[in-house]
Structure 1
Amino acid sequence: MIELLSDSPTTIAGAIRNAITNNISTKARQRAEEGVRYYNFEHDILKNRIFYVDDNNNLAEDKYASNVKIPHSFLNELIDQKTQYLLSNPVDVSSDDDELNDYLKEYYTDDMQLTLQELVEGASQKGFEYAYARTTSEDKLMFQVADSLQVIPVYDSDNNVQRILRYYTDTIVKDRKQVKLTFAELYDAEKVWFFVAEDSKAFKLDPSQPVNPRSHVLAIADNEQTDEQRLAGRSYGVIPFYRLSNNKAERTDLEPIKALIDDYDLMDAFMSNNLQDFADAIYVVKGFQGDDLSTLRQNIKAKKSIGVGEGGDVSIQTVNIPTEARKTKLELDRENIYKFGFGYDSSQVGDGNVTNVVIKGRYTLLNMKANKTEVRLRSFIAWANKLIIDDINRRYNKKFDVKQLTVTITREMLINENDLANNDKVRAETRSTDMQTLLAVAPRLDDETVLKQITDAYDLDFEEVKAKLGEQDYSQAPVPKELTGGEDDGAEG
């Protein structure tokens, strides 16, 4: 794709079609599409067909056998679980400068939170996802997700990304016929080219763009300035795309557990098939008057009756379906799906004593996976923050620095409220005992030491309490009953 590094629009246009075709056929693209399918419950089980050997010894599809197709949405749960564990609480980007904090609120909105969630979800499904920066009609920077299936990085000879090709399709009606339009945008650190192609025709510069190529941001003013002034633009100084990798190898969250999910789907589906097909019995037939066994199967299923010849006979035999073995296999598959998918299995019950220590233990695998994702997400936020600070400085003529920002990501985890209440009660009782012990030995200590111990225990400001007491002899002052745990009005030190 070296042609995409050219500055000639003709050369670039001639290379776009091949770049798109090659991207569609890559293994990474196929894995990404598979991850998207499974996230949307489109499992391989939906393509399942049942075959048998007919009377002519030919392999034929059995269209009368039960063929239950049940996709189980493990991947959807695991990806949403990771995303919400990380981002159910909004990412907090703040500064010690109150003025800068006010400006940041314009950028870190609900839309930005949604972008972060979609970015993590997309990377988990496809192995990697793109976010891109753009400027709104209000001249403010914002970020959106770009489908990585339609984004192609362009590398130089040193394997560094020099440009990004983004493409998408649309259908219009032209001359009473539907025409498929493919739009392509090629970005570098300073400008962007726009191309369009009808159906399978060659790409050409998009005539609908007033300036092509142009800067990343084009400001069109409604006044009497010259065309050069009226169409003046500016650039971000970097390629306005960021690639968020799901992991170092850019593997999807599906790959480690796909075989387990497929096995679970099959086990569950065929147990349903067995229960339906063998709900009544197996018919052993002698002297059957019919064309073949296929007709017999159809008659039994549809009419619940068959005909036999002279001396014929029908005997009925039941079948014991190994349901316990299948249930055990399903449980084993489920356990391995959460284990190798690094997820939290909320169906775990245990011995009923679910303390916060037990809950944290069950979150261990999910926490490990979230740690890897958070490191990469913070890298994107750092990239975005640099662009945000530059945009604030441009819009408000300021000189803020990105080093002034602090990023806080607070994870959301289930907790046992009763366990917390019991812990608080134990801590309060322990503190009360400590206070009673302190007051018992207070006569042997100086007043300032006693006061310091009390303020430290209750997280009070020693100097402030001391100042409020003034000249009062606090060793003889009434002690609040909440410090002693008693019902008396006071205690003497």
Structure 2
Amino acid sequence: MELEVMKKLIRKYEPGHTRFSLRAMQAERYYRNETDILVKDKLTDEKEKEEPDNPLRNADNRIPRNFHGLIVNQKAAYMFTAPPLFDIGNEHGNEVVTEVLGDEYRKNCMELCINAANASVGWIHYWEDEDGTFQWAVVDSKQIIPIESHNLKKKLLGVLRMYDEIDEETGDTYAIYEYWDKESCWSFRRKNGDTLDDGLFYYNTFMVPDTGDFTAEYRHEFGEVPFIPFPNNNTNTNDLKNIKPLIDVYDNVYSGFVNDLDDIQQMIIVLSGYGGTDLNTFLSDLKKYKTIKVDGDEGSNPGVSTLSIEIPIEARNSALEVTRKAIFEQGQGFDPQPENFGNQSGEALKFMYSLLEMKAGLTETEFQLGFARLVRAICHHEGIDCKKIIQTWTRTCVKNDTEQAQICKDSVGIVSKKTILKNHPLVEDADAELKQLEKEEKEAQEKADAYAGAFDASKNSTETDSNEKADAEQ
């Protein structure tokens, strides 16, 4: 790839990607429970400038609630605690696919789901290492710019990957650009602070196996761009968009309530005949001593009374309750309130998970296409024939295991044993369970045969002794 062509691609796609990255970073910040309540806005700063010494308004509690992190983790755990299983039609191929996916398969699925929930899309990159082994990993979505065709299929024509790297020799930070297509990858880099026109150069980072030299081009034989997108839903939006205003309202109301408790006393002593000098002195004495000074002039009637300032607790509790409910409704999550649980039937529990199931269904529809591409890439690399891929997805949620086990028991003789085992609450791997059952049946049969053989031998021995005894008597 020519250097000028790469510069044109960067100029065309980088500005839009910057906006995408800002939205993703905001969602990741909320996922870490670093909401906007922790950042002082302009209104608060102006208010502090106007009233810098207001003794009744000193509290500045900023308490975030991690609703976004909770809802995202709910979806990730609900969908991928038991990650999807793949059946390509032959047992050997299934074993190879499982082996290539590796021990980190479940963890990568979780990370992929969280990335998609925060950035609106997750990405997987696969490659071949020095030993010729198929490798794959989840890539930070903020690093990826997809180059797609303009037809209805929107085929992935290339991927522009951008990330920062520190030169260990000089300590300088460089922006690395990689452009991947269906045949090769070209690498470029630019020192931070340099312009694109003057600072972008080829980056010789790939080693040639035969010579040991380094080059800026890497050739692969996958026949397609080795990146796979996993959209979060059908609208390509993240999970924060619908609930961010509600989370901000909840944080503001709750933090304001705590500030009121710190600033305003429940009971204030009022002394008739106050002899203070000005309002600031009055507020300072009230805040510091919980009392004020009065003058007992002639004709005056100094006295002491109390003034109770009521905080609208009921109104705030109502606002918090309504806002919390709206957050889980708009975010399509499961509100983990203790009063929602109990001795619920299986159908009642399913209804409680209905919103989460709707959102998971949209994500699953998009993820199925991505996982199908990954499995086909593995099969292509391993030389395995792969036509139809059957994906089995399992939800992890609170459920009535007794009821589910009874359903499986009642289904014996109606559906296959494998289907029953797949839906049994105690079985995680139906294929392994089938093998274990066959092994136990075989061992039981061998024991039965051994017992029957021993019984027949004992019977024959008894009959022989009886015959010999009869012959002797004769």
TM-score (norm 1): 0.70
Paired residue for 1:194?
Answer: 187
Q: Choose the corresponding residue for 1:168, options 152, 163, 167.
A: 163
Q: Deviations over 1:403-424 (max 9, x none)?
A: 2542211111212346568x67
Report deviation, 1:389. 0.4
- Residues 372, 203 of structure 1: alpha-carbon distance in 2 compared, 3 angstrom cutoff: same
Task: Give the whole-Å Cα distance in 2 for the aligned partners of 1:151 and 1:167.
Answer: 7
Paired residue for 1:245?
Answer: 231
Task: Give the whole-Å Cα distance in 2 for the aligned partners of 1:306 and 1:19.
Answer: 66
Report deviation, 1:23. 2.3
> Is the 2:24–2:119 contact (alpha carbons within 8 Å) kept by the matching residues of 1?
yes
Task: Give the whole-Å Cα distance in 2 for the aligned partners of 1:408 and 1:163.
Answer: 30
Higher helix fraction (1 or 2): 2
Residues 390-409 of structure 1 mapped to structure 2, 5 A cutoff? 390-393=380-383, 400-403=384-387, 405-409=389-393
Task: Give the whole-Å Cα distance in 2 for the aligned partners of 1:334 and 1:166.
Answer: 39
Task: Give the whole-Å Cα distance in 2 for the aligned partners of 1:288 and 1:324.
Answer: 36
Task: Give the whole-Å Cα distance in 1 for the aligned partners of 2:233 and 2:132.
Answer: 35
Residues 76-91 of structure 1 mapped to structure 2, 5 A cutoff? 76-91=69-84
Report deviation, 1:352. 4.5
Report deviation, 1:189. 1.0
Number of residue-to-residue matches in the alignment: 395
Paired residue for 2:275?
Answer: 287
> Is the 2:126–2:135 contact (alpha carbons within 8 Å) kept by the matching residues of 1?
yes
Task: Give the whole-Å Cα distance in 2 for the aligned partners of 1:80 and 1:143.
Answer: 23
Q: List alignment gaps of at least 5 residues for structure 1.
A: 1-6, 212-219, 394-399, 429-493
Task: Give the whole-Å Cα distance in 2 for the aligned partners of 1:427 and 1:227.
Answer: 67
1:325 to 2:315 alignment? yes
Q: Choose the corresponding residue for 1:374, options 335, 353, 364.
A: 364
> Is the 1:16–1:203 contact (alpha carbons within 8 Å) kept by the matching residues of 2?
no
Report deviation, 1:98. 2.8
Letter of the 1:168 partner, please give it: Y
> Is the 1:86–1:370 contact (alpha carbons within 8 Å) kept by the matching residues of 2?
yes
Task: Give the whole-Å Cα distance in 2 for the aligned partners of 1:273 and 1:12.
Answer: 54
1:8 to 2:2 alignment? yes
Q: Deviations over 1:208-241 (max 9, x none)?
A: 4446xxxxxxxx25xxx7989xx99532111111
Moved more, 372-381 or 32-41: 32-41
Letter of the 2:333 partner, please give it: G
Aligned partner of residue 133 in structure 1, secondary structure: strand
Report deviation, 1:121. 0.9
Moved more, 99-108 or 268-277: 99-108
Letter of the 1:354 partner, please give it: Q
Paired residue for 2:203?
Answer: 206
Aligned partner of residue 256 in structure 2, secondary structure: helix
Residues 33-44 of structure 1 mapped to structure 2, 5 A cutoff? 33-44=25-36
Q: Choose the corresponding residue for 1:45, options 5, 16, 37.
A: 37
Report deviation, 1:87. 1.0
Task: Give the whole-Å Cα distance in 1 for the aligned partners of 2:353 and 2:360.
Answer: 10
Superposition RMSD in Å: 3.5
Report deviation, 1:359. 0.7
Moved more, 150-159 or 380-389: 150-159
> Is the 1:48–1:69 contact (alpha carbons within 8 Å) kept by the matching residues of 2?
no
Letter of the 1:9 partner, please give it: L
Q: Deviations over 1:265-300 (max 9, x none)?
A: 12211121122222343466833236x52x654554
1:121 to 2:97 alignment? no
TM-score (norm 2): 0.73
Letter of the 2:387 partner, please give it: K
Report deviation, 1:22. 4.6
Task: Give the whole-Å Cα distance in 2 for the aligned partners of 1:336 and 1:116.
Answer: 28
Residues 28-427 of structure 1 mapped to structure 2, 5 A cutoff? 28-48=20-40, 51=44, 58=50, 64-155=57-148, 161-172=156-167, 178-201=171-194, 202-210=199-207, 220-221=209-210, 233-282=219-268, 286-289=274-277, 293=280, 296-298=282-284, 300-302=286-288, 316-350=306-340, 352-393=342-383, 400-403=384-387, 405-417=389-401
Aligned partner of residue 110 in structure 1, secondary structure: coil
> Is the 1:17–1:203 contact (alpha carbons within 8 Å) kept by the matching residues of 2?
no
Q: List alignment gaps of at least 5 residues for structure 2.
A: 412-474
Q: Deviations over 1:300-322 (max 9, x none)?
A: 44565666678698864221111
Task: Give the whole-Å Cα distance in 2 for the aligned partners of 1:11 and 1:278.
Answer: 65
Report deviation, 1:106. 1.7
Aligned partner of residue 145 in structure 1, secondary structure: strand
Q: Deviations over 1:181-207 (max 9, x none)?
A: 111111111111111111222111013
- Residues 29, 74 of structure 1: alpha-carbon distance in 2 compared, 3 angstrom cutoff: same
Aligned partner of residue 33 in structure 2, secondary structure: coil
Task: Give the whole-Å Cα distance in 2 for the aligned partners of 1:15 and 1:233.
Answer: 20
- Residues 161, 8 of structure 1: alpha-carbon distance in 2 compared, 3 angstrom cutoff: same
Task: Give the whole-Å Cα distance in 2 for the aligned partners of 1:139 and 1:283.
Answer: 82
Task: Give the whole-Å Cα distance in 1 for the aligned partners of 2:8 and 2:408.
Answer: 74
Letter of the 1:165 partner, please give it: L
> Is the 2:97–2:375 contact (alpha carbons within 8 Å) kept by the matching residues of 1?
no
Q: Deviations over 1:325-362 (max 9, x none)?
A: 21122111111111121111221525954222211110
- Residues 307, 185 of structure 1: alpha-carbon distance in 2 compared, 3 angstrom cutoff: farther
Report deviation, 1:17. 6.2
Letter of the 1:205 partner, please give it: Y
Aligned partner of residue 239 in structure 2, secondary structure: coil
Letter of the 1:23 partner, please give it: H
Task: Give the whole-Å Cα distance in 1 for the aligned partners of 2:284 and 2:131.
Answer: 69
Task: Give the whole-Å Cα distance in 1 for the aligned partners of 2:289 and 2:166.
Answer: 50
Letter of the 1:29 partner, please give it: S
Task: Give the whole-Å Cα distance in 2 for the aligned partners of 1:208 and 1:37.
Answer: 33
